Amino acid sequence: MAKSVLLDTNILRQLISPTEFNPYLRQIIEWQKEEHVRLYCPPTLKREWKKHSEIEFKRIRQILKNHESALKASNLFEVTPDVTDVKLNAAEKRLWAQVEALDQLMESAVTPSEEEAVIRMWEHRAAGKAPFRVKENSENDAVILFSTLEQLIKKQESELYFFSTNHKDYAALGNEEFIHADISDAFPSVKIIYFRDVVQGVNKLAEVGLPTNKKKLDTSKMRVPNFFPVDQTKNEFGQLYEYLDKRFADIDFLPKSLFTYHYPIMIGADYQERREAFTINTDNQILFESLSEKFADLVESRASGKTGSEHVKMEDELLSYLRNNLVRTIRYNHRETLQLPLSIDTNCTCAVCTYNKGNLYSSFSLLEQARDEPESLKKAYTFYLHGMWGEAVSILKKVSESAESNHKWLTHYIAKYNLLLLGRLSRFRPLDEAIESNVFAELREIEMDGVLEECKSPSNNKILEMLHYGKFLDHASEEMQAIVSKIKNSQIDQDSGWSEDASKMLDLFFETIYFMERNYIMVDEYSDVNRFTEYFLDGFFASYQCNENLSGKVGHLSDPILAKIISYANADKIIKYKERYDIKKIKYVRDNVGSTFVIKIIEMLKSYEFLIDLFKSKRYDRISSVWSKFRRIVVNTLTVTSLVEMQADEIEAISRELLPFLKIQNHIKGLELTNSLSYFLKSNAELMNKEILREFLHLAFIGQGFDRDTILKSISGVAKKKKLTVCLKDLEWQLWSSEYLIVENAEEVIVEICYLYLFTTNNLHKSSIIDFIEKSLEANFNGRIYYMTVMDGLVQPTEKFNEKYETEILQFALEGRQPRIFETKSYNHRYIDEFINLSFYLDRPISTALKAALANLDQYYMWLIDIDGFNYEKFDPDWLYKHLTIYYKKYFRNSDSLKRKIRSEIMKSTDFRLARLYLDLYEKESQ
Ligand SMILES: [Zn+2]
């Protein structure tokens, strides 16, 4: 049966390709002809399309006119370079043909009536339901979709393939692959399968069984273009040098697929695209041989100490071009391989690099110097990075103007796009100084579609496609998800053998991040970058946990990868994947100079006070942006130390800066700081020397800005083991006791009180605490406090208090089951379990009344209070782990019935914990 398909106006526009007859359009036409799909075209869509198609005709004419000269090198004609007028007409005709084909397609579509849809549309509009969530004037869009759905219901069809680029209004919140529930709920009998772009949707239709010549769609050979003709009288090496010089005159970084399919790297007529990690392929044998020779020369002259000498200067430069664009290997016809030598590291000291090393003290002072530099994207980025957005905006405006007059269209586009991004972002970064606020509001109005048209040229179109509204991140995210799911499958299958997926993943990750960073695109504060990094994290950890026999899996974290994770991931996601893949510690390979991220965090913490003073004395309009990045790096770095194998000296170096920082900082807020600090302490306390550990312990009692309870718990184990003590100074004690020793609050902070009692060396403080506890128990008995303080040895148990405690618990048990967030198979409550624990400890019998109340609560308690008389057919081994303290264990040990039951369970159970518990309970003792 034919699939019902609806394409909205924007999708129709997308179907027109300026460079070729769009293969996806051709596919849809074929399907419609063969009746594999049934297209719908309500009158409103027809009207909108007619309007657009006229614009489209004009647009094409304009493109052709604007780029007449550039077209000489275009792949539009499949022949280069001489273009006669006749051929120009042929190209124009091809573009016309697409519009015409679409016209016909619309004519052959089903035309539903719109009456009912209009009523439904007004209902949705009034209620602010999708598609009226973001755009309020979605009337036409709504009528188009609703009338199609009404028609399908009439014909009892149950499925619609709906294509619309407007995912903000149509897609489900946070899940752009699904239609919004407002819409699906209104038409429950039709399943709406939603796509935000043509490629995805057509591939899906092919996947569900529509006939295609898939090869024709995906792996068709493409013409090798010749956008930048080079002087072919030069030798191959010289030709490559000239080509790269021209290609990168207007952009600093390109993914390999966007610059390698070009003369002289490719000399054949066509090519087939494929991703080989960190590799470019050439079919030019002479070029390959000449590069092999030249780079061998280079290595030799380096070895003989002639670095930087004139005669290898070009080789050095060419090598940097390639290495900077993530080329490590060159292959000839997918066979012979040339590994590129390393390029010499130049230790760049510009403001951006200095900032990235964490040395904010220097990078801010380099700004004065940067001011004298000629206007460039980088210069704008430098000021943006340092919280001077006003300056960045005025530089970008100048850059976009001069790029326009110098025909540097990519630079022009990026400058405009950055202005738009800053305009949008400025709403979330409060203004710190009164600069004209309408400057930023204006920027939000920049219409990138117009800029795109202006910038188009055959040599740039593919690059612009990536840049347009940041699409490179969408594309890369899709590709990343595909690679990651392959990696996960091989993790599940526990395949062994060779897999290239991990290195493809790394290649894609760096290509995408470098495309953003090195072209100075200001998207780093947008969540798209976090999400992309998150996909990568998922894949990286999955690959790390792969079968050891799988060659090609990732084996360690390196400084370059860590630097990106720390800059662009969210700390909670790092932890999420660490826990999901049950990763204890990842092998970490440091750069030659040592751990870059450790050096960076130290520099940043050192700069903290400097920044505070600087921002007080001088005017920066967006310091909140600087702080937001600062925060992210500190929090992520602390979190990452729980992920990689750290060394004692590194932890000590970080701690020495972190301790004074924690005493004064007020930029990282509670939860974030508490979590990251507790990860840092939990994983690294063992490595710390006593003196530093003691300082952290001390801080955990009196520090500000984090949850002391959590921090205490994260180091108390190691602190006890190392027999550490603290001694609060008089003033600190006064502050502490005025905050903690308050009868009304005692239950909430009893854990901290017990910890101080445990660690303090000051006997006066100890006795004050005991005094306080006893008084508060006398005045206002509280079972929780009593339990904690007896178990920690602060208070001597008395029968009077035991009875009070039991009465409290009886009351609690008689209230019945407490509501809980997660229903579990059987019910128990910590309060009750603690009371039972104390009873075991004191060897004190539980009263009959309480026993009866407990038996009413759950089978579990019925068993626990009558461990020998219980009917073991109803026994659940999970009960054993509910509150497994040493006193519970002792109690279990004395029960022969339980012993017999566990022994018989072990035979049936696959849970190895049970056997281990059995040994622990019954075998150890008899030894
Ligand atoms: Zn630099």
Which amino acid, one-letter code, is at 745?
N
| Local confidence band at 518 (pLDDT 50, 70, 90 cut-offs) | very high
- What share of the chain in percent tops pLDDT 90? 45
pLDDT band of 7, cuts 50, 70, 90 = very high
Q: How far is the CA of 530 from the centre of ligand 1 (A)?
A: 24
347 CA to middle of ligand 1, Å?
8
Query: Is the Cβ–Cβ distance between 4 and 150 less than 8 Å?
Result: no
Length of the chain: 927
pLDDT range class, residue 549, cuts 50, 70, 90: low
Q: How far is the CA of 327 from the centre of ligand 1 (A)?
A: 20
List residues, by chain if needed, whose CB lies under 5 Å from ion ligand 1.
348, 350, 353
d(CA 244, ligand 1 centre) in Å: 21
- Omega of the bond prior to 225 within 30 degrees of 0, cis? no
523 CA distance to ligand 1 middle (Å): 19
Per-residue pLDDT at 487 exceeds 90: no
Closest by Cα among 132, 155, 156 to 143:
132
**Quick one: average pLDDT of 554-567?**
90
Ligand 1: distance of its center to the CA of 513 in Å?
Answer: 16
CA distances from 533 to 509, 565, 596, 615 (A): 8, 7, 20, 31
pLDDT one-digit tens code per residue, 50-80: 887 777 667 666 655 555 544 443 433 333 3
Over residues 705-731, mean pLDDT:
91
Distance CA 720, CA 172 (A): 51
Of the candidate ranges 160-174, 194-208, 213-227, 700-714, the one whose mean pLDDT is the lowest: 213-227
179 forms bridges with which residues in the sheet? 171
Q: Does the pLDDT value for residue 748 go beyond 90?
A: no
Q: What is the pLDDT of residue 822?
A: 65
Distance of CA 471 to the CA centre of its chain: 16
Residue 26, amino acid: R
Strand partners, 551: 498
Q: Is the pLDDT of residue 81 over 50?
A: no
pLDDT of residue 87: 37
Q: In the prediction, which pLDDT does 94 show?
A: 63
> Distance from the CA of 323 to the center of ligand 1, in angstroms?
16
Check whether 1 has a pLDDT greater than 90: no
> Under a CB-based contact definition with an 8 Å cutoff, are residues 515 and 254 in contact?
yes
Q: With both helix axes pointing from N to C terminus, report the angle between 690-702 and 648-664 in degrees, rounded to the nearest 10.
A: 30
Determine the pLDDT at residue 547: 66
Dihedral sign, Cα of residue 225, residue 230, residue 236, residue 242: negative
pLDDT band at 308 (very low <50, low <70, confident <90, very high): low
Q: What is the pLDDT of residues 399-451, one digit of tens each?
A: 999 999 999 999 999 999 999 999 988 887 766 555 556 778 888 888 888 89
Q: How far is the CA of 883 from the centre of ligand 1 (A)?
A: 58
Greater pLDDT, 851 or 219: 851
Phi-psi region of 494 (alpha: psi -120 to 50; beta: other; left: phi over 0): left
Extended strands (E) in 759-803: none
pLDDT higher than 70, residue 93: no
In this predicted structure, the answer to whether residue 510 has a pLDDT above a threshold of 90 is yes
The two tokens of residue 446 are 């920049």
Q: Beta strands 336-339 and 497-498: pairing type?
A: unpaired
CA distance from start to end of the chain: 75
Beta partners for 336?
332
Q: What are phi and psi of 317, to 5 degrees?
A: -65, -45
Residue 297 reports pLDDT greater than 90: no
- Kindly state the average pLDDT of the residues 285-308: 85
Q: For residue 214, name the pLDDT band (cuts at 50, 70, 90).
A: very low
What is the C-alpha to C-alpha distance for residues 281 and 267, in angstroms, rounded to an integer? 11
Predicted local confidence at residue 199, as pLDDT: 83
Q: In what order do the strands lie in the sheet with 159-163?
A: 37-39, 3-7, 159-163, 191-195
Mean pLDDT of the 228-245 span: 92
Percent of the chain exceeding pLDDT 70 equals 90
Least confident of 212-216, 324-328, 366-370: 212-216
Lowest model confidence (mean pLDDT) among 153-167, 453-467, 545-559, 664-678: 545-559
CB 385 within 8 A of CB 418: no
User: In 553-705, which ranges are continuous DSSP H helix?
Assistant: 559-568, 571-580, 596-617, 623-640, 648-664, 670-684, 690-702
Rounded to the nearest angstrom, the distance between the alpha carbon of 480 and the centre of ligand 1 is 28
Q: For 95-127, b where at least 16 C-beta lie within 10 A, e where not — what string? A: bbebbebbeebbeebeebebebbbebbeebbee
d(CA 288, CA 68): 35
